[in-house]
Amino acid sequence: MSGTAAKEIHSLIDDSQKKVVEITQGLRERLDRTVEASFGRIHDGMSISDRCDTILQEVVSYTSNVEGLMVNIAQAAREQSEGVRNITIAMSELDTVIHSNSEMAQETLRCSQDMTQVAFQLQDCTTNLEQGVFGKVQPRSDTAGPDDKTTNSPEESSQDHPTDDDEPSDSGNLPRTA
C-alpha cells in the first residue's frame, strides 16, 4: 500500500474513531440524562409510593373506624327496635288498663244509680214509717245531710214526739222518743 492510501485509511480510521467517540459521548450524555431522569422518576415514584402507603394506612384506619361505627349503628338499631317493642307492649297494656278503667267507671255509674234509687226507696220507707209512728210526715229538706240540723219549734217538737210526761197515744206499745 502506498503511503497516501495508508494515510487515507489512517485518516478514515481517525475520523471513524472521532465519530465513534462523539457518538459514544453523545450516547453517554443521553444515557447519563436518562439515568438521571430515571433516578428522578424513581425518586418521584418512591415518594408517590410512600404517599400511597400513608394514604392506604389512613384508608385502613378509616375503614376500621367505619366498621366500628357500623357495629355501633347496628347495636343502636337493635336497641331502638327493642325500645319500640317495649313501647308497643306498654301502649297495649295502657289500652287494656284504660279499657278496664272505662268498664269500672261504667260499673261505678251503675252502682251509683242503683244506690240513688235505693236511697229514694229508703226515704220513702222512712216517710211511711214516720207517718205510721207519728201520724204525719216531718218536714224535710231535700238537701239535708247527716250534719244538717233541721230544728222545729219547741211546740212542734213536743207535738211530733211525745215525751215521758205525755200520755201514750193510740199507737199502743210503740217506743217513745225524746
The 3-class SS string of the chain reads CCHHHHHHHHHHHHHHHHHHHHHHHHHHHHHHHHHHHHHHHHHHHHHHHHHHHHHHHHHHHHHHHHHHHHHHHHHHHHHHHHHHHHHHHHHHHHHHHHHHHHHHHHHHHHHHHHHHHHHHHHHHHHHHHHHHHHCCCCCCCCCCCCCCCCCCCHHHHHHHCCCCCCCCCCCCCCCCCC
| CA pair distance 18, 15, nearest whole angstrom | 5
**Tens digit of each residue's pLDDT, the chain (178 residues):** 567 888 888 888 888 888 888 888 888 888 888 888 888 888 898 999 999 999 999 999 999 999 999 999 999 999 999 999 999 999 999 999 999 999 999 999 999 999 999 999 999 999 999 898 887 755 555 544 444 444 444 444 444 444 444 444 444 444 444 4
Segment 60-92, tens digit of pLDDT: 999 999 999 999 999 999 999 999 999 999 999
pLDDT on residue 135: 78
C-alpha cell at 99: 279499657
Q: To which residue does cell 193510740 refer?
A: 170
pLDDT on residue 177: 46
Q: What is the pTM of this model?
A: 0.40
Q: Which amino acid appears at position 96 of this protein?
A: T
Q: To which residue does cell 279499657 refer?
A: 99
pLDDT on residue 35: 86
Torsion-angle region of 172 (φ positive above 0: left; ψ -120 to 50: alpha; else: beta)? left
